[in-house]
Amino acid sequence: MDIVDIEKAIKDEREKLRVFRFSAMGTRSKNVKEGASLRKTIARLLTEKKARNK
């Protein structure tokens, strides 16, 4: 994965998190850990991006 791929993956994961948050407003979520796992994935991608920029 290069920097462009990482940035694209971050964008996709953030969109998934946004959809998850707004879809959960009206109903109860069946997978309550999905939000946490999405945030962790985003953090891992950002860490990898920062490490490669050095």
User: In the chain, what are the domain boundaries?
Assistant: 3-53
The predicted pLDDT at position 22 comes to 86
List, in order, residues 6 or more apart from 34 with CB less than 8 Å away. 20
- Residues 17, 38: contact at Cβ < 8 Å? yes
pLDDT tens digit sequence for 5-25: 999 999 999 999 999 888 867
The predicted pLDDT at position 42 comes to 97
The predicted pLDDT at position 1 comes to 79
The predicted pLDDT at position 54 comes to 78
Amino acid at 26: G
The predicted pLDDT at position 29 comes to 66
